[in-house]
């Protein structure tokens, strides 16, 4: 009756508890093996193997543009126009900001007038120099003639002294004229430089886009006073993006230039991008014992600066035993797997697990190389059950 069934269930439970410790052992004494009863359970089997597995380190970083610039003016004036807003896309050479250049125009006209005056002074100095050259030439020839006459006693000493004095005076006048010409030419060059500077300043009144990009910040408005160095806009280039990550110094030898790394940007879903190590800053931060790595991202229109990114860097390899997580069976606080012996008997074996890699688990102890185990134990599988390997 009911009492007999309860006694039978108690016997089965006791037998199960007794079987578990024996199932955890490696050997069964000869002559003590009892053939299990019950239907045979069909299971999928696999063999435990140790293999080399890559090790990875996951670092976090922020997407940044490869090129970014803060645009400012070089002259003082009133902001006349700002032709862009935040978020606008611009092309290289587009006009972004226009500064009122009336003051610059006045400076240019003043410089041009000074240049015209300097050139006239230079021309006058050239004429004076030419005249001094002619006078010096005449005085020299007269001096040479009187030098011969004085040797022949055909001229008086007073006449010769007067000629010699005029010769020296002509030489001094020529030297002075040449110095005045050099000074006039120097002033003309200075005036030309002033005109060129005024021309450049006139060009600086228009701020152009240095490259294709996106306007990310606007720091000035129409009517503001522009002064040299005060920023107008911030421009990010659209030529590409990168992720800057900080790695522990222990992994310094694990990265190299042009190394491929996997980058995940959660904002883009499960999509993975293959980045490339572009820069390695060798100087380690003494406070954090880490170093900076810059990773170039491939072209992707969905990527935006400021996005959070995870970078997976391969740091080495390690030999370990991995089995599918589906083979691991929890029993209370314990964890085990079903191994299958040569007699096709399933034995529950306690194991100690380590790290998890996607859908596999590292086995630290409890499973030996070459042992067969059940891939996905069905609910009907118990310790000591007969099993049949599924094809």
Of the pLDDT bands very low, low, confident and very high (cuts 50, 70, 90), residue 298 is confident
Average pLDDT over residues 231-240: 86
319 versus 358: which is more confidently predicted?
Answer: 319
| Number of DSSP helices (H) and strands (E) in the chain, helices first | 3, 23
What was the pLDDT predicted at 29?
Answer: 44
Say whether pTM exceeds 0.75: no
pLDDT at res. 44:
93
Q: Residue 386 has what DSSP assignment?
A: B
Q: What is the mean pLDDT of the chain?
A: 82
Q: What is the C-alpha separation between 299 and 273, in angstroms, rounded?
A: 10
Residue of 216, 222, 247 whose CA lies nearest to 234: 216
The CA-based dihedral angle spanning residues 245, 251, 252, 253, taken in that order and rounded to the nearest 10 degrees: -130
Alpha carbon distance 371, 219 (integer Å): 70
What pLDDT digit, counting tens, does each position of 148-200 carry? 888 888 878 888 888 889 889 989 998 998 899 899 889 888 888 877 776 66
Q: Say if CB 58 and CB 312 are below 8 A apart.
A: yes
For the cut 50, the answer to whether the pLDDT of residue 344 exceeds it is yes
Which pLDDT value is given to residue 28? 42
pLDDT in the model for residue 37: 56
Asked if 311 and 63 touch (Cβ cutoff 8 Å), the reply is: no
Q: How confident is the model at residue 38 (pLDDT cuts 50, 70, 90)?
A: low
Give the per-residue pLDDT at 192.
Answer: 84
Assign 230 a pLDDT band (cuts: 50, 70, 90). Answer: confident
Give the three-state DSSP class for 128: helix
Q: Are 96 and 83 in contact (CB under 8 A)?
A: yes
Q: Which of 107-116, 142-151, 170-179, 366-375 has the lowest mean pLDDT?
A: 107-116
Instruction: Report in angstroms the alpha-carbon separations of 320 from 3, 131, 263, 356.
Output: 52, 101, 26, 12
Residue 35: the pLDDT is 53
pLDDT at residue 348, rounded to an integer: 94
Gap between the Cα atoms of 265 and 241, Å rounded:
13
Question: What pLDDT, in 10s, does the model give residues 18-32?
Answer: 333 334 444 444 444
pLDDT score of 113? 85
pLDDT at 135 exceeding the cut of 50: yes
């Amino acid at each position: 009756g009911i009492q007999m069934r309860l006694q039978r269930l108690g016997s089965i439970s006791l037998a199960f508890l007794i079987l578990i410790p024996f199932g955890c052992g490696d050997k069964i004494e000869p002559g003590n093996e009892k053939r299990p009863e019950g239907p045979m359970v069909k299971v999928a089997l696999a063999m435990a193997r140790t293999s080399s597995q890559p090790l990875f380190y996951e670092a976090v970083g922020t997407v940044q543009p490869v090129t970014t610039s803060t645009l400012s003016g070089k002259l003082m004036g009133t902001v006349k126009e700002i032709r862009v807003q935040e978020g606008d896309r611009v092309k290289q050479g587009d006009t972004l900001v226009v500064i009122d250049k009336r003051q610059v125009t006045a400076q240019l006209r003043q410089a041009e007038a000074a240049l015209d005056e300097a050139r006239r002074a230079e021309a006058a100095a050239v004429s004076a120099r030419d005249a001094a050259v002619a006078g010096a030439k005449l005085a020299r020839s007269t001096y040479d003639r009187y030098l011969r006459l004085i040797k022949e006693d055909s001229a008086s000493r007073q006449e010769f002294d007067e000629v010699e004095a005029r010769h020296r005076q002509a030489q001094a006048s020529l030297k002075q004229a040449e110095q005045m010409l050099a000074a006039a030419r120097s002033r003309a060059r200075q005036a030309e430089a002033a005109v060129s500077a005024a021309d450049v300043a006139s060009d600086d009144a228009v701020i152009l886009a240095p490259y294709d990009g996106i306007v990310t910040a606007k720091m000035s408005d129409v009517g503001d006073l522009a002064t040299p160095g005060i920023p107008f806009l911030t421009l990010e280039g659209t030529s590409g993006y990168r992720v800057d990550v900080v790695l522990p110094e222990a992994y310094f030898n694990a990265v190299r230039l042009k190394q491929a790394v996997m980058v995940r940007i959660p904002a883009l879903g499960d999509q993975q991008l293959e980045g490339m190590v572009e820069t390695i800053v060798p100087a380690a931060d003494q406070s954090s014992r880490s170093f900076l790595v810059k990773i170039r991202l491939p072209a992707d229109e969905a990527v935006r600066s400021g996005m959070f990114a995870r970078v997976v860097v391969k740091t080495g390899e390690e030999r370990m035993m991995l089995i599918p997580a589906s083979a691991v069976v929890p029993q209370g606080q314990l964890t085990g797997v079903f191994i299958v012996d040569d007699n096709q008997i399933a034995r529950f074996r306690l194991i100690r697990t380590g790290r998890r890699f996607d859908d596999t688990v590292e086995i630290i102890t409890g499973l030996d190389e070459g042992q067969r185990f059940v891939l996905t134990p069905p609910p009907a599988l118990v310790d000591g059950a007969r099993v049949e390997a599924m094809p």
